[in-house]
């Protein structure tokens, strides 16, 4: 026997609005302590420097810095100033904003392996001054574009974006 | 099934603020101490549990944020929400399967990073029935406290005395954030939160981190030359899940979880077979209510026993010598593990000025806090 097909219909907007619901807007607020390692990294950004750390045991150079090596499980206290240039490890071309609006000009989030850090170690930031997103490639060399010194606050956004480095 | 014991514990002293370190650095310090105490490297650990609640952290899926500082990279890690004792029980059960030999429980608090605690607490309330009152969500504690006092014949001064009992005990606990010498009147004169509950009866938030290393008997026997502390019994229960059926005057979840733990440990008369107790007391009346729920009073009035010194260091059955929530601080999931650490030190004779004479066995009882009816219990003993 053929199964009976019950056809529904599209609900209209006012029908959705008639359904009873309880609305609530959370008000959670936080202020995370940056701590020793991240705090020093952010202070470096304020001064226009990208700081990294080196594990004395495995010799990896890590950025962003941390107070300990997660592989060797030892404290890290050797600091280095790294270059503000790097290589695109991976990237995405996003046409949707954080509040789900369509973007005319896409944002290009990317993982940048900072020059001087160990291979595979990178920070997540954005690419800018890109003529055509189609030209962005993994392995592309990039350089940080900083906010003017007076506007820096000690945040990751003190770097506005990384721009392609002319070869 | 393998017997499970404590191989090591690492603790960062509780404090009101810890703005000099990140939560990762806080946990790392506790982890280093725990592995040193256990005589192991993190690479020896088979399984990790992080006890946390995402709303308290401000990030979701918090167990993704803990492997680095625990030495748990490329290892099994998962979150248990509820309370530190839930984490202990979870790891203990994993070890009892025989699949794991060494397991780690981590709990921490960065309460100082949460800017509006009451709004976080409000998120736990039922959105249809409980959020409409527009008052401080701790009114639920006021309702419960009143019902408990009425049913047990306990007055507000006795509840205040429970608060001072713990703050005073905390004076001798170097890990406690809120030691202090107060009179019950001092507590009664603090601002009213939700009558009969006053601010002095509410534990204050604190930051801290604790890491506990558990292991199977064969591991502990091979590493520990002296006495060891064992988990003899465990229980965790949720009783009335909806406020409309709450039994307001009783901590049913604690009664059930304690009963289960006693049964597992073969304890038939808790008041005679338990050397001391550590119970949840994030609101001062909860100490008295939880003592009753753990069957430690033989039907006698806990307020009278408290007044008579029954629960003091020199008393018959000392309770919350650590200072508990009122004295150590309110660290959400972590406080119960500070109490567990204190209890383990007691059993090993390492409790300093608060050391009891030859304690053998204790109960640790925890509660998930408002607005829950959930809690856990562990029985610890020494060789």
Q: Above 70 in pLDDT, residue A31?
A: yes
Average pLDDT over residues B189-194: 97
Report d(CA B200, CA B326) in Å as an integer. 9
In a domain, B214, yes or no: yes
Number of domains in chain A: 1
Q: Above 90 in pLDDT, residue A136?
A: yes
Q: Above 70 in pLDDT, residue A167?
A: no
Task: Check CB contact of B110 with chain A, cutoff 8 Å.
Answer: yes
In a domain, A63, yes or no: yes
Facing residue for A22 by CB, picked from B32, B69, B127 = B127
Q: How confident is the model at residue A20 (pLDDT cuts 50, 70, 90)?
A: confident
Residue A137: give the domain boundaries: 35-164
- The continuous run of DSSP H or E covering B317 comes out as none
Q: Above 70 in pLDDT, residue B155?
A: yes
Report the pLDDT value the prediction gives residue A13, as an integer from 0 to 100.
84
In a domain, B73, yes or no: yes
In a domain, B360, yes or no: no
Q: Above 70 in pLDDT, residue B279?
A: yes
In a domain, A64, yes or no: yes
Report d(CA A110, CA A101) in Å as an integer. 20
What are the tens digits of pLDDT across the range B332-378? 999 999 999 999 999 999 999 999 999 999 999 999 999 999 999 99
Q: Answer yes or no: are the C-beta atoms of A95 and A102 closer than 8 Å.
A: yes
Facing residue for A34 by CB, picked from B22, B116, B123 = B22
- pLDDT mean across residues, chain B: 95
Q: Above 90 in pLDDT, residue A1?
A: no
User: Are the Cβ atoms of A31 and B42 closer than 8 angstroms?
Assistant: no
- pLDDT mean across residues, chain A: 94
Q: Above 70 in pLDDT, residue B214?
A: yes
The CATH number that applies at residue B72 is: 3.40.47.10
Report the pLDDT value the prediction gives residue B250, as an integer from 0 to 100.
96
Facing residue for A30 by CB, picked from B21, B58, B71 = B58
Q: What does each C-alpha distance from A86 to A49, A89, A115 come to in angstroms?
A: 14, 9, 5
For B118, name the nearest residue in chain A, comparing CA atoms only: A28
The DSSP line for chain A is -PPPP----PPPHHHHHHS----------B----HHHHHHHHHHHHTT-EEEEE-TTT--EESS--SB-TTT--B--EEEEEPSEEEEEEE--EEE-TTS-EEEEEEEEEEEEETTSPTT-EEEEEE-S-S-GGG--TT-EEEEEEPPGGG--SSGGGEEEEEEPP-
Residue B56: give the domain boundaries: 4-115+205-223
Q: How confident is the model at residue A2 (pLDDT cuts 50, 70, 90)?
A: confident
Q: Above 80 in pLDDT, residue B101?
A: yes
Report the pLDDT value the prediction gives residue B12, as an integer from 0 to 100.
98
In a domain, A26, yes or no: no
Q: Answer yes or no: are the C-beta atoms of B342 and B278 closer than 8 Å.
A: yes
Task: Check CB contact of B128 with chain A, cutoff 8 Å.
Answer: yes
Report the pLDDT value the prediction gives residue B287, as an integer from 0 to 100.
98
Q: Answer yes or no: are the C-beta atoms of B109 and A33 closer than 8 Å.
A: no
Average pLDDT over residues A152-165: 97
Average pLDDT over residues B103-125: 95
Q: Answer yes or no: are the C-beta atoms of B285 and B365 closer than 8 Å.
A: no
Taken as a whole, chain B contains a residue count of: 383
- Kindly provide the b/e burial profile for residues B148-161, where b requires at least 16 CB atoms within 10 angstroms of the residue's own CB: bbeebebebebbbb
In a domain, B155, yes or no: no
Number of domains in chain B: 1
User: Are the Cβ atoms of B22 and A71 closer than 8 angstroms?
Assistant: no
Average pLDDT over residues B183-192: 97
Instruction: Average the pLDDT over each of A6-10, B187-191, B296-300, B313-317 and give the range with the smallest value.
Output: A6-10
What are the tens digits of pLDDT across the range B36-69? 999 999 999 999 999 999 999 999 988 899 999 9
In a domain, A25, yes or no: no
Report d(CA B29, CA B47) in Å as an integer. 19
Q: Look at residues B312, B66, B50, B55 and name the one whose alpha carbon lies nearest to residue B166.
A: B312
Report the pLDDT value the prediction gives residue B240, as an integer from 0 to 100.
87
Average pLDDT over residues B184-205: 97
* Cβ count near A122 (within 10 Å): 20
Q: Look at residues B264, B324, B250, B256 and name the one whose alpha carbon lies nearest to residue B292.
A: B250
Report the pLDDT value the prediction gives residue B225, as an integer from 0 to 100.
62
Average pLDDT over residues A49-55: 98
Report the pLDDT value the prediction gives residue B119, as an integer from 0 to 100.
93
* pLDDT over 90 percentage in chain A: 81
In a domain, B168, yes or no: no
In a domain, A142, yes or no: yes
Q: Above 80 in pLDDT, residue A166?
A: no
In a domain, A50, yes or no: yes
In a domain, B250, yes or no: no
User: Are the Cβ atoms of B114 and A27 closer than 8 angstroms?
Assistant: no
User: Are the Cβ atoms of A73 and B71 closer than 8 angstroms?
Assistant: yes
Bridge partners (DSSP) of residue B77 are B48
A-side interface with B, Cβ within 8 Å?
A: 22, 24, 26-39, 66-68, 70-71, 73
- CA-based radius of gyration for chain A: 23
Task: Check CB contact of B54 with chain A, cutoff 8 Å.
Answer: no
Alpha carbons within 13 angstroms on the beta-carbon side of residue B276 total 28
Q: Which two tokens stand for residue B97?
A: 């399967």
């Amino acid at each position: 026997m053929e199964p009976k097909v019950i056809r529904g219909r599209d609900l209209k907007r006012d029908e959705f609005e008639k359904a009873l619901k309880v609305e609530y807007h959370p008000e959670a607020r936080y202020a995370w302590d940056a701590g020793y390692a991240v705090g020093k990294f952010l202070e470096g950004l304020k001064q226009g420097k990208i700081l990294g750390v080196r594990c004395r045991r495995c010799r990896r150079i890590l950025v962003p810095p941390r107070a300990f090596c997660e592989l060797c499980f030892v404290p890290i206290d050797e600091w280095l100033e790294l270059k503000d240039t790097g290589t695109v490890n991976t990237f995405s071309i996003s046409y949707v904003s954080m509040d789900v609006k369509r973007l005319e000009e896409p944002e290009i989030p990317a993982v940048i392996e900072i020059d001087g850090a160990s291979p595979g170690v990178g920070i997540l930031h954005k690419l800018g001054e890109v003529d055509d997103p189609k030209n962005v490639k993994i392995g592309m060399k990039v350089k940080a574009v900083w906010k003017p010194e007076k506007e820096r606050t000690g945040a990751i956004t003190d770097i506005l974006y990384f721009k392609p480095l002319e070869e | 099934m393998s017997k499970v014991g404590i191989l090591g514990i690492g603790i960062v002293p509780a404090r009101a603020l810890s703005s000099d370190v990140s939560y990762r650095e806080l946990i790392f310090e506790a982890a280093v101490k725990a592995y040193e105490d256990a005589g192991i490297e993190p690479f020896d650990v088979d399984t990790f549990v992080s006890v946390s609640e995402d709303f308290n952290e401000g990030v979701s899926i918090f167990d993704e944020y803990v492997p680095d500082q625990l030495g748990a990279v490329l290892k099994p890690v998962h979150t248990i929400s509820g309370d530190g004792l839930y984490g202990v029980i979870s790891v203990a059960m994993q070890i009892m399967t025989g699949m794991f030999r060494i397991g780690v429980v981590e709990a921490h608090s960065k309460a100082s990073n949460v800017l509006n605690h009451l709004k976080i607490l409000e998120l736990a309330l039922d959105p249809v029935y409980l959020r409409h009152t527009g008052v401080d969500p701790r009114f639920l504690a006021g309702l419960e406290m009143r019902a408990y006092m009425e049913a047990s014949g306990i007055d507000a001064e006795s509840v205040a005395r429970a608060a001072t009992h713990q703050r005073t005990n905390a004076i001798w606990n170097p890990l406690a954030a809120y030691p202090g010498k107060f009179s019950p009147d001092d507590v009664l004169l603090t601002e009213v939160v939700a009558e009969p509950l006053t601010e002095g009866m509410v534990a204050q938030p604190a930051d801290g981190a604790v890491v506990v290393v558990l292991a199977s008997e064969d591991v502990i026997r091979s590493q520990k030359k002296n006495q060891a502390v064992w988990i003899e019994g465990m229980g965790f229960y949720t009783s009335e899940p909806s406020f409309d059926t709450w039994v307001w005057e009783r901590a049913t979840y604690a009664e059930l979880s304690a009963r289960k733990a006693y049964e597992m440990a073969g304890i038939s008369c808790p008041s005679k077979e338990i050397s001391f107790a550590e119970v949840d007391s994030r609101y001062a009346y909860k100490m008295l209510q939880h003592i009753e729920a753990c069957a430690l009073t033989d039907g006698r009035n806990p307020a009278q026993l408290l007044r008579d010194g029954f629960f003091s260091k020199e008393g018959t059955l000392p309770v919350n010598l650590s200072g508990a929530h009122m004295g150590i601080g309110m660290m959400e999931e972590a406080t119960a593990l500070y109490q567990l650490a204190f209890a383990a030190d007691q059993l090993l004779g390492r409790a300093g000025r608060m050391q009891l004479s030859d304690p053998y066995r204790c109960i640790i009882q925890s509660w998930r806090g408002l607005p829950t009816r959930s809690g856990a219990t562990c029985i610890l003993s020494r060789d």
